[in-house]
Homo-oligomer: A and B are copies of this chain.
Amino acid sequence: MNDAGANRPVDQNGFTVATRGRGFFEITRQVADLVAASAVQTGIAHVFTAHTSCSLLISENADPTVRGDLERWMARVVPDGDPMFRHDAEGPDDMPAHIRSVLCGVSLTVPVAGGRLRLGTWQGIYLWEHRTHPHQRKVTVTVLGC
């Protein structure tokens, strides 16, 4: 495996998340499977989504009330339909989705060790859909190392 790793130091793959509107969609399993399938034993896994109205984040993976509280807090800080916003052609969730996307970001990087994704016990990787309607969200995973 080490020799294979030396010859193929980078693996890049992708998948699509079909969201059902605003909310959290866990992608830990998909990312971990791509890392395990790669030749990289030690390195990093970079996860990226090519959109401006959703986010990637690492959050607590055990209690679903954490995601509910995140959603409620964000809705208070970045309210849909705020009259301050001029960019509203796609509806009251249009500009809030862009702000949420900037605040949480569209990429994550996680260590790889022993050929596996090394998240903490309580860490899960989520795609956070910020639009109220369903979307197809592309995710690219790049694994680098040796």
A82 vs chain B, min Cβ distance (A):
8
A46 B87 Cβ-Cβ under 8 A: no
Interface size on A, residues (CB 8 A): 62
User: Which DSSP category, helix, strand, loop or mixed, fits chain A's interface?
Assistant: mixed
A50 B120 Cβ-Cβ under 8 A: yes
Contact residues, A105-146 vs B (CB, 8 A): 105-111, 113, 118-123, 138, 140, 142, 144-146
B48 A102 Cβ-Cβ under 8 A: no
List chain A positions with a Cβ less than 8 A from chain B.
8-10, 12, 42-44, 46, 48-53, 57-60, 63, 65-66, 68-70, 72-73, 76-78, 82, 84-87, 89, 95, 98-99, 101-111, 113, 118-123, 138, 140, 142, 144-146
